[in-house]
Amino acid sequence: MRVRLDNIHKSFGHVQVVKGLDLEVEDGEFLVLLGASGSGKTTALRMIAGLESVTSGRVLIGERDVTNVLPKYRDIAMVFQSYALYPHMTVFANIAYPLMVRKTPKAEIAAAVQEVARQVQLDTLLDRFPKQLSGGQRQRVALARAMIRRPAAFLMDEPLSNLDAKLRGYMRAELKHMQHELGITTIYVTHDQIEAMTLAHRVALLEKGVLQQLDTPANIYNRPANLFVAGFIGSPPMNFIEGTLKDGLFTAPDSHFGTGTRATRTAAVAGMRPEDCRVTEPQDGKLTGTVYATELMGDHTLVTCRVGTATVTVKADKAFKRQDNEAIGVDFAEASVHLFDKASGERIA
């Protein structure tokens, strides 16, 4: 079902955590709420769940206004970061709990549990207790408990962050597959941009309680709406150089280059992704500087250069070899330059 947040505000005492959040999640969509800690993403999710009251604004699930509805009447399921499995119940009882609470007939419960357990490959572990399971198995119990009810929406609060890196990658793929199969609207909170990029149909990037950009992963990456998004998404992050922009010509203290626009600003920031840059001889690059550090990452080398007062990181070939402090040039295509207004941080054109 559709989930809509309508100008949501949330304050704890004098601290404003969420400031006027508008969000519309389509039926069957996988939406990721991405942000650093303290960005208000978890608070937003908890407001959708009904675990946190809404200071002002409305929460709608389907066509129903649930702003003041208790969690149990919202027809949602949530997966917690800690999994929140009931330690005194078996896997079976854990998965069955939402149905038992609703007084579903015993035979129906048993059949339903068997079915979801098979879907998440837990059918042989139903008699175990949570403490006898591995991290990944616990995670799947939490998923099964959420799935058994076919809720209007899934809410997930960093469900993969307690798993080790390898398992996380595997569960990510599994989660994506499952959401696609079930077609249930999913709102997923994470601080991990890789999870956001790989899982989401659309990503909502939050910072300090304000929505920065809501778009597909590709658009967020290729056309960041402002300086914050540009700096947040991408690893290593985008390079920024400050200067002035006159009729599309960007001028920094010791360099100038065209940008493929006709815009003019007295204070602007040019951004280049490390993979859009290449290292050249000093005289050939749009920027010139010195090598500050080189890091071999396996399939590529990260070259960090000092350009004036700025630092520019370039994703170079794995065979790249230069001494530190050696002079170097950095080149890039004009079209790959992202331009932002320095004062407002907004994207130019």
Partner 1 sequence: MSASPEARTLMQRLFEPQTLESMAPVPRFFTYGALLVWTLVVVFPLYWVLVTSLKVEVQVDSGPFYLPFIDFTPTLEAWDFMLLQNNTLGPYLNSALVSLVSTLLALLIGAAAAYALVRIQFQVKLAAVLTFILLVVGVIVAVAALDVPWAIAVAVAAALFVLALSTVVRRFRAAVGNNDIEFWMISNRIMPPIVAVLPIYVMFQHLKLLDTQVALIATYTGVNLPIVVWLTRDFFAGIPRDLEESAEIDGASKLRVFFTIALPLVRSGLAATFMLVLILTWNEFLLALFLTNANAQTMPVLVAAQNTTRGPQWWYMSVLIVIMIAPVIVIAGFLQKHIARGLLAGAVKG
> Which residue among 8, 18, 41, 50 contacts partner 1 (CB under 8 A)?
50
Alpha helices in 200-328 (DSSP H): 217-222, 227-232
Q: How far is the CB of 347 from partner 1 (least distance, A)?
A: 38
Give, as one character, the DSSP assignment of residue 168. Answer: H
Instruction: Decide: is 102 part of the binding site for partner 1 (CB under 8 A).
Output: yes
| Residue 20 Ramachandran class (φ > 0 left, ψ -120 to 50 alpha, else beta) | left
Any contact of residue 97 with partner 1 (CB under 8 A)? yes
* Residues in contact with partner 1, shown as a per-residue x/- string from 113 to 152 under the rule CB under 8 A: --------------------------------x---x---
Q: Which positions from 263 through 322 interact with partner 1, judged by CB under 8 A?
A: none
d(CA 195, CA 200): 8
Fill in the DSSP letter of residue 348. Answer: P
Q: How far is the CB of 162 from partner 1 (least distance, A)?
A: 12
Cα 298 to Cα 231, 295, 302, distances in angstroms: 24, 9, 10
Report the nearest approach of partner 1 to the CB of residue 73 (Å): 8
Q: Where are the beta strands (DSSP E) in 152-308?
A: 153-157, 185-190, 202-207, 210-215, 239-246, 249-252, 255-258, 265-272, 277-280, 287-296, 301-307
Name the minimum Å distance from CB 49 to partner 1: 6
Alpha-carbon gap, residue 114 to 124, rounded angstroms: 10
Contact flag: residue 12 with partner 1 (CB under 8 A): no
Give the CA-trace dihedral at 207, 209, 215, 221, to 10 degrees. Answer: 0
And the tokens for 313?
């990181």
159 binds partner 1 (CB under 8 A): no
* Residue 82 near partner 1 by CB under 8 A: yes
Structure-token match 């809509």, residue found: 4
Q: Give least dist CB 88 to partner 1, A.
A: 5
74 DSSP assignment: S
- Shortest distance, position 129 Cβ to partner 1, whole Å: 12
Q: Identify which of 251, 320, 334, 254 has the alpha carbon closest to the alpha carbon of residue 291.
A: 320
* Residue 154 vs 240, nearer CB to partner 1: 154
Residue given tokens 């010509």 in the structure block: 249
Determine the size of the site formed for partner 1 (CB under 8 A).
Answer: 23
Is 3 a binding residue for partner 1 by CB under 8 A? The answer is: no
Q: What is the radius of gyration, based on Cα positions, of the chain?
A: 24
Compute CA distances 311 → 100, 251, 272, whole Å: 59, 17, 12
Burial 150-175 (b: 16+ CB within 10 A, else e): ebbbbbbbbbbebbeeeebeebbebb
The residue (of 97 and 292) whose beta carbon lies closer to partner 1 is 97
Closer to partner 1 by Cβ: residue 51 or 310: 51
Which span (22-30, 81-89, 182-190, 253-261) binds partner 1, by CB under 8 A?
81-89
- 70 vs 107, beta carbon nearer partner 1: 70
With CB under 8 A as the contact rule, the residue among 80, 129, 228, 292 that binds partner 1 is 80
Q: How far is the CB of 97 from partner 1 (least distance, A)?
A: 5
Closest CB to partner 1 among residues 81, 280: 81
Kindly identify the residues of this chain, within the stretch 58-77, that bind partner 1 according to CB under 8 A: 70-72, 74, 76-77
Q: How far is the CB of 86 from partner 1 (least distance, A)?
A: 6
Binding interface with partner 1 (CB under 8 A): 49-51, 70-72, 74, 76-78, 80-82, 84, 86-88, 97-98, 101-102, 145, 149
